[in-house]
Amino acid sequence: MKEFAGRIAVVTGGGSGMGRELVRQLAAEACNVAMCDVVEEGMTETRRLCQAAGLPQGLRVTMHTADASDAAQVARFRDEVAQRHGTDKLHLLFNNAGIGGGGSMFAHSREEWEKTFNICWGGVYNCTRAFLPMLQKAEEGHIVNTSSVNGFWASVGPRIPHTAYSAAKFAVKGFSEALITDLKINAPHIKCSVVMPGHIGTSIPLNSRKIQSGNLSNEMDAQQIAQASCPWVVTPPAFPMTTFARW
């Protein structure tokens, strides 16, 4: 897909980082965008940046509060997209939402581990499942799933466990590669790509802390400070971004 003007895209995790930049670049290409996030103020800033850059007349950039790991919330998000954009079609789906945490099966709780896995992997599955009928109705469509270099190499260092995030990103990579074949057989007008970013300077550490703790404030409480000081939590090494595209 090379032309974006007049099309409709869904971006998960559009309130910050890579998701925000996707929304901005799509809007700059005159593509209508529906973004979701769990932090409304982040989406408000994303939309402000789009408006400050100048939106074409009639272009829609809509905000939807939804947790991609929750199938019911994703279904509501899909229905809102159809209603607010006045369409039953979708051209682009960017499954981008993700957080860190749950690195150790020993040091971290089951709840933290599963929250990371369910957002990073479950969000991709839930949104693909929910929006696939809308993609099928468009003349062409493209699904872009964000995995990670940790979908190749499950490590951020020889003494740092990184189990939840790595397991999720391996799942995203494998699902995307298998989905390419599924689409070729059943919906050849829809393509799929999987993106494997390395270390990118986004707010994912801050967002992960907020979501894992349930404290959406920028101020850290005592427990969060202690966790941030834990030797299990480190910044991953730098790697180039790799994209596998199947056209």
Catalytic residues: 165
Report the distance separating Cα 115 and Cα 122, nearest Å: 9
Q: What is the enclosing helix (H) or strand (E) of 171? A: helix 163-186
Considering only the C-alpha atoms of the chain, give the largest distance between any 2 of them, rounded to a whole number of Å: 54
**Residue 136, helix vs strand vs coil:** helix
Report the distance separating Cα 192 and Cα 205, nearest Å: 28
Q: Give the CA distances from residue 125 to residues 58, 145, 169, 175, 226, in Å, rounded to whole numbers and listed in that order.
A: 31, 10, 12, 9, 33
Q: Are strands 242-246 and 190-196 parallel, antiparallel or unpaired?
A: antiparallel
Whether the Cβ atoms of residue 44 and residue 35 lie closer than 8 Å to each other? no
